Amino acid sequence: MYLTKDEERMLSGEEGEGVRKCMEIVAALGEIYGAEKMVPIRSAQVSGVTYKNLGEAGIEFIEELIKNGAKARILGTLNPCEMDLEDWEDIGIDAETAGKQKRIVDIFSRLGIKPVCTCTPYFTINLPKFGEHIAWGESSAVSFANSVLGARTNREGGPSALAAAVVGRTALYGYHLDENRKPTHTVNVNVAIRESSDFGALGYHVGKTVQNGVPYFKGVKAASQDQLKSLGAAMGAWGAVALYHVEGVTPEAKRGITAAGEQLAFGEAELKTAYKELDSASDDPDLVYLGCPHCSIDEVREIAGLVNGKKLKVPLWVIAARPINQQAEKLGYKKTVEAAGGKLLSDICLVVGNIDKLGYKTLAINSAKGAFYLASYAGRGVHFGTTRQCVDAAVNGKWK
């Protein structure tokens, strides 16, 4: 792989052992995937930030990098962690877990990564522009950045995104290249899909079928950013889709990428089946969990509107990135959610945390991605439905 003078300097250790190690990681990936050169990146999104994920070995690795002069040279943000970094006690997180998690976020901060813990960094300080190269981890964020924003990233792991942040570059392969951004499948959508959970159901069906392909959707009349967020998150979880296009909606489809590849159909029957398969629990929920991926301000507004003046029988957690949460506080949505008995939280993802310790057994959720991880990885009962259905379950204590 061709290296510029600067890159050679980093690899030779002239900028310190920490930078050398990071350049070694990025260069090794480039060699494995046959990259011809590296490309400067605008931002990184670092995943794997819990103690369960990093352990002492991971912590030591980052401490060592810092000691040896490594520092992020571009904007970096963090994935969700296992608690709200401020309101952790309130939601039943023990002091030992909190101490470990705070220590990890602090270490990343010392490395120069901003302690904004969210899977929707694009709603905060980390919003890539069309065509920009970035190095992001977290499948739903990757999918959103590639597909909805038209930025370019592979699905990075925690160490490779961190290394890319330190050297400010990534190897030019995969979704950074035009030839890998063309559709492999065309999905003909023959049913009206309106709710975000409908988009999640569509993503569930398509993700399972196309795996790591690049689907091109036809027949989707309109889609909001939140609905696309739900679609991409589902395809990244039930398959490994990191990029998709929607005719007339997503930026590359508007700029000339056209339908191609194997034809698939999604109609009324597939939509019904997807809801049926995703809604797998028999008990009523003991937690209603909205914000997977983390909510936009519009989603928080919608939820606040639905709970306004009500009293909840089942705990309701609404998760949004901290800057969105602060905006929601100013606009009065937080107060409304809390007056009903719900919580508006930041930083947390129940999937990466230790849900066993919190004791919840059955969750109601509007996210097909959440349904996948909470059922198969966390072994919980999951009800899947629209946002309104989930809020109704919190109000009535029953799933309908």
**Nearest of 385, 302, 308, 293 to residue 342 by alpha carbon:** 308
What gap in Å lies between CA 300 and CA 334, rounded to an integer?
Answer: 8
Q: According to CB under 6 A, which residues from 75 to 94 bind ligand F3S?
A: 80
Q: Is 140 in the site for ligand F3S (CB under 6 A)?
A: yes
Give the helix/strand (H/E) hosting 209.
Answer: helix 196-210
Cβ contact 233:292 at 8 Å: yes
Stretch that binds ligand F3S, among 57-65, 91-99, 143-151, 367-375 (CB under 6 A): 367-375
174, amino acid identity: G
Distances (CA, A) of 249 to 144, 198, 219, 334: 13, 17, 11, 32
Among 105, 292, 300, 371, which residue sits at the site for ligand F3S (rule: CB under 6 A)? 292
Q: Is 117 in the site for ligand F3S (CB under 6 A)?
A: no
Q: According to CB under 6 A, which residues from 208 to 267 bind ligand F3S?
A: 233
Stretch that binds ligand F3S, among 177-185, 263-271, 287-295, 384-392 (CB under 6 A): 287-295
Among 204, 373, 384, 399, which residue sits at the site for ligand F3S (rule: CB under 6 A)? 373
Angle in degrees, CA 111, 53, 95, rounded to 5: 85
Please tell me whether residue 193 adopts helix, strand or coil conformation: coil
Stretch that binds ligand F3S, among 57-65, 90-98, 290-298, 327-335 (CB under 6 A): 290-298
Q: Quickly count: other Cβ atoms within 10 Å of residue 2's Cβ.
A: 10
Q: According to CB under 6 A, which residues from 334 to 363 bind ligand F3S?
A: 349, 351
**373 versus 399: smaller Cβ distance to ligand F3S:** 373
Query: How many residues belong to the site for ligand F3S (CB under 6 A)?
Result: 13
**76 versus 183: smaller Cβ distance to ligand F3S:** 76
What gap in Å lies between CA 353 and CA 104, rounded to an integer?
Answer: 14
Stretch that binds ligand F3S, among 29-37, 261-269, 320-328, 365-373 (CB under 6 A): 365-373
Q: Quickly count: other Cβ atoms within 10 Å of residue 302's Cβ.
A: 18
Instruction: Name the residues that contact ligand F3S, by CB under 6 A.
Output: 80, 119, 138, 140, 233, 292-294, 349, 351, 369-370, 373
